[in-house]
Amino acid sequence: MTAPFNNICMVGLGYIGLPTAVVFALRGVNVIGLDVNQKAVETINEGRTHIVEPGLEDALRRTVSAGHLRATTRPEAADAFLIAVPTPFRQDSDERIPDLSCVEAAARSIAPVLKRGDLVILESTSPVGATEQMAGWLAEARPDLSFPQTHGEGSDIRIAHCPERILPGHALTELVSNDRIIGGMTEACSTRARKLYKLAIEGNCIETDCRTAEMAKLTENSFRDVNIAFANELSLICDKQGINVWELIRLANHHPRVNILQPGPGVGGHCIAVDPWFIVSQTPDEARIIRTAREINDHKPDWVLAKTHQAVAECTAETGKTPRIACLGLAFKPNIDDLRESPALDIATRLATLYPGQVDVVEPYIDALPPGLDGKAQLCRPRDAVADCDIVLLLVDHDDFRSMPPPSRPGLRLIDTRGVWAGLPN
């Protein structure tokens, strides 16, 4: 008979780890949250969140109060360990190479407390082979235990990969309702991992091998990236042709088999802006469309900057002074506080460097400017920024901005990268 999961350890308490820990704790599972950030740990143990996610703070408060969730900076024994830590890439010359140092650190941190029968799941989006690499680090640290790569179905430790696939802003719902792909290093690993997730998940748990599970997540995000690149490329073409790209896409999408996405200032976030490079780094000669899509989306902030420079030159020629620029939004997508790989943040930072003292930033989901902007720009309320600036650059379609009337006064220049004011209603 399979041993029960008396407690689980969530390694990494960020945008994925903390909501995941809360979802399990809401169902009565005892969860130990492990993170290297002492301040985040203290905040969580007080029943407060250090990230913005609708409904999360209330759910966290209830689970902490009930004694089902607590956080720590020191690894403790558990029956299952779920690892959700950053997997960025490092830039080596012109190539972007996956950086698994956080995964390695997480694996080595929990290795001393592993015991026979434990389950270790890598949730971090990773290049193909990362789960097996993690198993190697664990085996190196614990030669007294057996692992799937050497002992197969009879290993002491079960290891699997289960990539997260949630939409920020809807984490608590999608963590429960979405299907999960579970890739075990063996069938026994997959089965054990599926039993864990079924404690909290209502969606289907689909079993496969760990390499296919890793590639599935990379494929999902690359598919999105390629489609966004098509929309962004259309926006460049339409700009040269004098066509309203928002109206064009609206009309084209009336075709029953066409569903073009919306263009923007680029692509951000820890997934879509990063994961396709994992495929490119491992198969550079084959991943031609994926690479081109990434390059198109990575170039889009440069195009937005060029449009802004043009507006600055026009304003300067008319008034004889350097104009003020309002950047509306820093997050990588609307209605969240996540700035990771954000093209809006990149654009605002570069503008503040080029035009020091002339840039106002509006971001309703943060209380202080990030280090790259601190001292170079000022954080303002929407009305103040729009009233004082000569150029308004809409970078993120937060609901706060959508509810604003389009700024309008003589001489004001609008650069709408999201189609909030430049687009037409569906």
d(CA 405, CA 413): 15
- Marked catalytic residue, from 9, 205, 217, 380: 217
Q: Say if 327 falls within a structural domain.
A: yes
* Number of domains into which the chain is organized: 2
- Both 199 and 265 in one domain: the answer is no
Residues 227 and 282 in one domain: yes
At residue 424, the pLDDT reads 43
Q: Are residues 140 and 247 in the same domain?
A: no
We report the CATH number of the domain holding residue 254 as 3.40.50.720
Is residue 247 located within the same domain as residue 316? yes
Q: Do 74 and 182 lie in a common domain?
A: yes
pLDDT reported for residue 425: 40
Residues 190 and 52 in one domain: yes
Choosing from 9, 210, 271, 315, the catalytic residue is 271
Residues 6+ apart with CB under 8 A from 367: none
Give the model's pLDDT for residue 2: 63
Domain holding 172, by residue range, is: 7-203
Query: Is 423 inside a domain boundary?
Result: no
Structure confidence at residue 426 (pLDDT) = 34
In one letter, which amino acid is 204? N
In this prediction, residue 79 carries a pLDDT of: 98
The phi and psi torsions of 264 (rounded to 5 degrees) equal: -160, -165
The sheet with strand 30-34 has its strands ordered as 69-72, 30-34, 7-11, 80-83, 119-122, 158-161, 180-184, 205-209
Same domain, 193 and 226: no
Decide if 425 is inside a domain. Answer: no
Q: How far apart are CA 390 and CA 358, in angstroms?
A: 10
Low-confidence residues in the chain, pLDDT < 70 = 1-2, 91-94, 423-426
Is the distance from CB of 244 to CB of 63 less than 8 angstroms? no
Note the pLDDT tens digit of each residue in 31-58: 999 999 999 999 999 999 999 899 999 9
In a domain, 13, yes or no: yes
Does some domain include residue 211? no
Q: Which of 170, 161, 67, 80 is nearest to 119 (CA)?
A: 80
Q: C-alpha distances in angstroms, 76 versus 71, 111, 308?
A: 11, 10, 52
- What is the per-residue pLDDT across 356-411, written as a single tens digit (0 to 9) for each? 999 999 999 999 999 989 889 999 998 888 888 999 999 999 999 999 988 888 88
Residues 169 and 230 reside in one and the same domain: no
Residues 188 and 235 in one domain: no
pLDDT at 213: 98
Tokens of 142: 């614990």
Residue 1 lies in a domain: no
Last residue of a domain, one of 203, 236, 252: 203
Is residue 240 domain-shared with residue 190, that is, in the same domain? no
Last residue of a domain, one of 141, 172, 203: 203
Active site residue 271: yes
Residue 147, domain member (yes or no): yes
Domain boundary (203, 237, 264) is at: 203
